[in-house]
Amino acid sequence: MFAYGQTGSGKTFTMEGTDGANEGVIPRSVSLIFDEIQKARNLGWTFILDASIVEVYMDSVRDLLNLGNLKEEPSSVEVTEAADIRRLLDIAHNNRKVAETSCNEHSSRSHCIFQLTLQAKNK
């Protein structure tokens, strides 16, 4: 899923949101995924979920969970509950590049990519 729009139009808020009633697409989707995982666990499934978050800024790709330019694969962090994702989004948000534009003094001027990898096995 991609969010596209003018600087300051609310793309980051739409995707990340805040805690509570203003959750964004990512936390809401992850909550739904964990709800379905719980149902599947009752049927003998086991799951491993890993999250990574990178930023494309200028000519580089930066790992927002393990600061530095990406050389190979991004850091991935195992997540066991939906609240883990909010903590990772907060870390990534604080690590993003920010540069002032004429439209918004706090524009990230970068592209953030959140990835959730699921591995599932049934006994």
CB–CB of 62/54 below 8 Å? yes
| Domain range 11-122, its CATH number among 3.40.850.10, 3.30.70.2970, 3.30.460.10, 3.30.160.40 | 3.40.850.10
Q: What is the tens place of the pLDDT at every residue in 14-33?
A: 888 877 788 888 899 999 99
Q: What is the tens place of the pLDDT at every residue in 36-55?
A: 999 999 999 999 999 999 98
Q: Name residues whose C-beta falls within 8 Å of residue 31's C-beta, 6 or more positions apart in sequence.
A: 23, 82
For the chain, what percent of residues have pLDDT higher than 90?
A: 36
In the 3-class helix/strand/coil scheme, how is 26-57 assigned residue by residue? HHHHHHHHHHHHHHHHCCCEEEEEEEEEEEEE
Write down the pTM of the prediction. 0.78
Distance CA 9, CA 104 (A): 10
Where do the domains of the chain lie? Answer: 11-122
